[in-house]
Every structure is written in structure tokens, then in C-alpha cells.
Structure 1
Amino acid sequence: MRLRLVLAVLSLPALAQAAAEPPLSSLTLVGPPAIVFKAGRDACDGADVPDASARAFRDATGAVALFGMHYRNRALRGPDLDRLKLDCKVVLDSGEKADPALYDDRSWITATWTEDGTAIAALVHHEYQANEHPGRCTAKGYEACWYNTITAAASTDGGRSFLRTTPPAVAMAAPFRQEVGQGRHRGFFNPSNVFADGRFRYVFVSTTGWDRPGDQEAGVCLFRTATPADPASWRAWTGTGFTAAFPDPYRTKAAAKGTETCKPVAPFPTPVGAVVRHRGTGAFVAVFMAKKGDMAKKGDGPAGANFPESGFYWTSSRDLLSWDVPRLLVAGTTLYDDPCAAAGGLIAYPSLLDPRAEGRNFDDVGDTAILTYVTLKTEGCTITSDRDLLRRPVAIKVWP
């Protein structure tokens, strides 16, 4: 998942508060990094590299499964977050099939949700890489032919295996087929973790936007559902409500006019790494990466910012729609920077996990948590497969 997209971020939804507020919280590094997974030491085969933000859940026995690897999907497993080891069993493979309507080219498990630890719903970042399939792309190169969709898979055995449905279950797709708009990457990308608020489950998903139908703006959109096991039930925030659906364009016909679009939420210039809810106050905390010079425009509220330095940033919110000014947590050259300028390595894919989370899906935190992220070695201008998954302790303080 060689993510190089930079999204244009638009103003906050109309529900955002008009007056600026002070930051809700503080997030502070309180210890050095430690290695969770090292590709050259812990891999089962050459496909095992961390390539997405970490997602974890407790299964029905209380054991932990953590996803965030490559498109030959395996999980790290252990009795808790502190003792994880890669399980060599492939739980969801990628078929690399040429027919885009099958949604089985290259797939990454990028978000999970479970109520009981046995039945697991997964959102899957699916890349149709048309450049790899002769005659499927008029352009050349990976990004020019990259068509992305969020599909779904399900497990009935606590995440030991995942199955796709026939026909494929599509949760979020652009309203056109892969041959449309070639020349740049298109579609929906990189879900955050799924997280709860009351009876609903939410996820942030990125899009590069499109002109027709619907004139979708690029940015990060907020989706919700009351039934994560039903991929068709996800609806996106439009600025007035959660009503926009993005079904499979190979099995539905999008209207040329009147198609609903999602309203991007500021201040995120790139995909959201993770969102967690502070147990003591109910405030949400999000982490993401940005490169120096990225712009998060001011909307109707306080969330505008220029990013003065590359690295991991965080922000907090009470309502998921208005977020306070992002602050730097870890400085470093990110996956969105020029790899030619990286001094030997990049950082990417931040997430937050609390080993003492009360929820089965690790979507809540107390006053301490673990920042997980990936380091990627570079050789000249090439990003290599020499990658480590790291963890680093953080302290969290949220003001009432």
C-alpha cells in the first residue's frame, strides 16, 4: 500500500462551532520506542511487512489479534498487547485478479469490529492496480492506474480466517468504474479504526474526490452505521446528515445528477490513523501524519493550521465534526514526503492503543496509551521492505 496521496482539506461541516475553543487535551511522549515486529527477524515470508495502521481486538477467549500487515493478510496474536507474535496462517489472501468487478486484486485488512470476539467484521482497503493487468489502463505506472475501494470481509472464528461474499460486499466505492478518470489514483482509501459512540459505529475514510457524478471534494469523510456486519449500511456525513451511500458501481447505476457526496471533515490533510475516546471525559483523540507545508484550512471553527514540520500530529474533539488545532507529536520524514530527501528512513501509519482498554475493540483510552507506528528504510529514492512496527508510550490529559 504505497500511499503517496495528499488530500485537499475543506472547511468544517456546518455543525462546527463558530467560535474558536482552546485545545481539549494534551498528548505527550513518555518513553522511548520499542520494536513489536521486525521484518527481517519476525516475518513468515517476503510478504510480511507492516503496511497499515495497527488495529486490534480481543477475541472470545480474551486473546488479542492485531492487524496492520501487507496484502497477504496475517495477524499478530498474543495474550495481550504486550506479548504479540506473528501468526503465519494467512487469514485473507489477495487473488491479484484482472477483473475489477471481482474486487480481488490486492486487499489489506485495515479496520475491524466485533461485539463478541467471535464474529468479526472487517473493512478492507482494496487496490485495483490496473497497471499490472494488460489492457486495463491507458496510462502507465501504479498511481495513474490505481482505483481504490473499501470492501468487506467477515470472520466467524475470532479472526482466524476471513471470507468474502459472492458477489463481493462493497462498503464505499466511487460512483464509476475503474477505467474512468485514469491518470491519477481514485476512490476511497485507508479507513481509520472503527470506533463506537452510543449505538453507532464510526470510521473515517479518505477520498481523492471526483468531478462527476456529484462533484465529490477530496478529503477525509466520516461514515457511520448501527450494524457494522452489514457493509451496505455505512452512510457518510454530507454536511447535514449521515445519508450518503457509495455502492458498488459494477452492480448499481449511479445517477448522473443529484448524487449525494460526503462532506470532508477538517483538519485532516491525510488519512486518519486512529480515533480513540478518552474514558474519563468522553473526548475523542485522533492521530494522523502530515508533511511540512500541508494545509488544513480554517472552516467555521478552530481547526485551521499549516503544518510547519513533517511528522505525526494529533487533535481532539467532542463531536467528531469540529476538531481543535493539530499539534505535533513525533517529528520525522513521513511516507508523504519525498523519499529522496529522507535520511535513511520514513515514519508512517500511526495508531493509538491502550492495553487496558475496556472495549473489546481498543477504541477507548485512559490517561496512558501506546502510539504504534511503522518505520520504513530507504535506499536512495526507493522505499524498501525493511520495516519495523514500533510502540511508544504516551500520556493523555483531557480537560473537562
Structure 2
Amino acid sequence: MLLRLLIACLCVAAVTAAGARESPLKESPPTDPPRRETPRREPPLSALTLVGPARTVFKAGRDACDGHDVPDAPARAFREADGGIALFGMHYRNRAFRGRDFDSLKLDCRVVLDSAFKPEPEAFDDRSWIAATWTEDGRTVEALLHEEYHADDYGRCRTKGALACWYNAVLAARSPDGGRSFTRASPPTVVAAVPFRQEVEQGRHRGFFNPSNIFSDGRHRYFYASTTGWAGQPFGVCLFRSDDVSDPARWRAFDGRDFSARFPNPYLKGAKPTGSCAPVAPFPAPVGSVSRHRGTGAWIAVFQAAAGGVFPRPGIYWSTSRNLTTWDAPRLLIAGPTLYDDPCTSGGELVSYPSLVDPAAPGRNFDTVGDTATLFYVTLKTKGCEVTSDRDLVRRPVAVKVWP
């Protein structure tokens, strides 16, 4: 996905190389618009502990349907209408894992959403990943797409280098059949895009990208998305909220005081962005997933980070929050070089794309956790300074403790 080449933009160093209705939580009241506060560092709000070995869910050389089948995004799961499980997290030729439970998941070779490689940036249909899903009934599934437009592939880049003209957006798609096929609207439904067209501000990567899972406080739906920023918009991770996930036009970003910033399709006549979004610390880049702890109502986010600043070692981290904008000090869960680190010094393997899922979650969308959960993540083999397509989707059991 974007993460492989995003390293260059984030680290300023180029690297070469992709039923029942959901029930409101009763443990705590719905979240009101969060306030900007000084980040809380101590004491920690939670403890996550690995309590078992890694188990391989998918191995590219063994389980792939074709050469596009590599895990290339955080795992996103939902419970189908008949009680089965669908899980996404593959490449831009999108396929799903399916099974009666998480132990029986197998890759279904039907393509549920393909990438069209259209050369027109206004089509927003170059390469797309299913990055988040939400369903109320297991049949109609709303999705957020991470869409990449590679202007250098189509002669629309005035400068050199892939990142210099990379143009990203978060789009909406919908499935009427439990995630067995997804369709886009025409013109495309843009959830978040830069407020200018592709040819503007060339020379650096631009856009919104890598949305987290969609998660709920019982009243609203939320997701985080990253942006490298532009004039008037800082770099960082932004929080989006909606009161109706079935209407993609209702997503708004937190501007530091309220959810009022919006970033519509810049190619539509009359489309006007409003405001800018306020980056949320301590996330250095995309958020893997956010889960609400059923016992306390606290939020737990998992993500990856390179060493530096508040991150003493590279690896997969977690942080906890009471209000979605103020998070405690990140803590290391799995140590190891990530896609944000130099593959030349990785020792042969990277870890990336973390996502926390509780198979026992009562809702359809697995956006809550109890005192146990499963960490899904991807291991990627390197060869010299190259990140290869030899990668596995793995999972490990985790114990969760949150202090009231």
C-alpha cells in the first residue's frame, strides 16, 4: 500500500519498492466533541501483553490466488448476515478472507473490487485498497478506500520521483451482498481529498490516506486518516466523525474545537472545503486500528513507528485515550524494524499493518475489545535493501488490562 513509499515522505529519505444491529455501548455515555488538551503521558491507562505465539493466517507463496495477493493493509473484519466472518487487508486487487470463524479463514479468490488504473486524476480510480468496512446487518457494507493516483505513470508529473506527484484520497464504496462485490458511485464519492486538483502543488506527496478502521461510540462513527499536509494544513493524523455512515457526505474532521472541517471532491463544480483538521498526537503516521474497551469505555489504538522521539525502539505500539484526542504515552508491543525504517538494516524482516480484533466482540464490526483480543499484523521479508512480496499475515493473542 502507500506505506512502502510513504517512508520517503515521512522520514525525508527515499526508499524504493503496496444478524443483529450494532449495539450502542452501555458502559459509558456517547462521546461528545473532544477537546484539545495537553497530551497525557503518565500514568499509563492500559497494559497490552502478548500471551501466545504467532500463528500464520496467510502465506503469500502458499495461499495466493495470483501475484497481487499479498497482505498490504491492516486487517478489517465484519460478521456476515449468516454469522460467518469476512476479513479484508490485501492488495489493490481486493479479495476477502472468509470462514465460519477466525480459525477457518481462507482467501476467497473472487475479486470484490479491482483497480482500473485510469489515467484521469478526476476519476479517482487508479489503485484502490479496501481500508475500512462498516455494516449494520451483514449484507449492506460501507467501505472506505485508500486511493492512490500515480501521476508519474501517466505523464502528468512535472518533477521526478513517484512521491513528488503522488495524489491520494479517501473514497467511499458500498457492497449490497455482504462484501462479495463493491461498487463506486459516478462521479466518485470522495470522503477526504486535498482542496485542489492533481496538478497543483506538485513536487511532494499530497492528500489523505490510510484510513483506520471505522469505530463507534454508540452515537457516532469515527476513523483516523493521515495527511502529509499542504499550505494551511499541517502534517499529521486527523479524526473524522459521522452520524450516518451510509451517507459519505456527512463525514467531518475535527478542527481542534469541533467536527466541522470537510474535504470534498475538488473536481466537482461548487465543491468547497471548510477549515483544516487538527492533527492528533502521538501518532507519527497512519493508525492501524482503534478499539473501545467494553469494560471501561477507553479507546485503544495500535500503530507502527520508527525509532525516534517518544519511540525508543522501532516496532508496533499502542496508546490509550478517554476522548480520542488526548492519548497516553505510546508503549511498545512488538519490537522490530517497520516499513518506516531502512530495509537495508532490517536484518531480513519487517513488521507492519497492526490491527487489534476481539473475535468475541458482540457487534458485527469488531470495533470493541474485552480483556483478551488478537493482534493481526504483517511480516515482510527483505532482500538487501528491497522489501519483497514475501510477506505473511499473522496473529497473536493479547491480554488487555485497562484501569478505570
TM-score, structure 1 normalization: 0.92
Alignment of 1:285 onto 2:300: yes
Alignment of 1:70 onto 2:91: yes
**Displacement of 1:327 after TM fit?**
0.4
> What SS does the corresponding residue of 1:87 show, helix, strand or coil?
strand
**2:129 paired residue number:** 108
Alignment of 1:272 onto 2:293: no
Alignment of 1:372 onto 2:379: no
**1:38 paired residue number:** 59
CA distance in 2, matches of 1:144, 1:18: 33
- 1:50-103, Cα deviation, whole Å (9 max, x unpaired): 000000000100111000000000000001112100000000000000001111
Alignment of 1:320 onto 2:324: yes
Structure 1 unmatched runs, 5+: 296-305
CA distance in 2, matches of 1:151, 1:140: 27
Aligned-residue sequence identity (percent) comes to 65
> What SS does the corresponding residue of 1:82 show, helix, strand or coil?
helix
Alignment of 1:207 onto 2:232: no
**Displacement of 1:359 after TM fit?**
1.2
AA in 2 matched with 1:190: N
AA in 2 matched with 1:62: G
**2:192 paired residue number:** 172
Stretch of structure 1 that moved more, 351-360 or 139-148: 139-148
**Displacement of 1:18 after TM fit?**
7.6
Alignment of 1:25 onto 2:46: yes
| Pairs within 5 Å for 1:1-400 | 1-3=1-3, 4-5=6-7, 7=10, 14-16=35-37, 21-134=42-155, 136-211=156-231, 215-252=232-269, 259-293=274-308, 295=309, 306-400=310-404
Query: Does structure 2 conserve the Cα–Cα contact (< 8 Å) formed by 1:187 and 1:207?
Result: yes
CA distance in 2, matches of 1:25, 1:226: 28
AA in 2 matched with 1:226: D
**Displacement of 1:198 after TM fit?**
2.2
CA distance in 2, matches of 1:254, 1:119: 28
TM-score, structure 2 normalization: 0.91
CA distance in 2, matches of 1:165, 1:330: 40
Query: Does structure 1 conserve the Cα–Cα contact (< 8 Å) formed by 2:94 and 2:112?
Result: yes
CA distance in 2, matches of 1:84, 1:19: 39
**Displacement of 1:15 after TM fit?**
3.2
AA in 2 matched with 1:191: P
AA in 2 matched with 1:48: D
> What SS does the corresponding residue of 1:351 show, helix, strand or coil?
strand
Query: Does structure 2 conserve the Cα–Cα contact (< 8 Å) formed by 1:49 and 1:69?
Result: yes
Query: Does structure 2 conserve the Cα–Cα contact (< 8 Å) formed by 1:176 and 1:254?
Result: no
**Displacement of 1:155 after TM fit?**
0.4
CA distance in 1, matches of 2:289, 2:68: 24
Query: Does structure 1 conserve the Cα–Cα contact (< 8 Å) formed by 2:39 and 2:327?
Result: no
**How has the CA–CA distance of structure 1 residues 35 and 76 changed in structure 2, closer, same or farther, with 3 Å as cutoff?**
same
AA in 1 matched with 2:227: T
CA distance in 1, matches of 2:221, 2:336: 32
RMSD: 1.5
Query: Does structure 2 conserve the Cα–Cα contact (< 8 Å) formed by 1:131 and 1:141?
Result: yes
Structure 2 unmatched runs, 5+: 12-33
**Displacement of 1:140 after TM fit?**
2.3
CA distance in 1, matches of 2:40, 2:354: 30
**Displacement of 1:253 after TM fit?**
5.1
Query: Does structure 2 conserve the Cα–Cα contact (< 8 Å) formed by 1:7 and 1:219?
Result: no
**Equivalences, count:** 379
Query: Does structure 1 conserve the Cα–Cα contact (< 8 Å) formed by 2:39 and 2:326?
Result: no
**How has the CA–CA distance of structure 1 residues 280 and 142 changed in structure 2, closer, same or farther, with 3 Å as cutoff?**
same
CA distance in 2, matches of 1:108, 1:15: 31
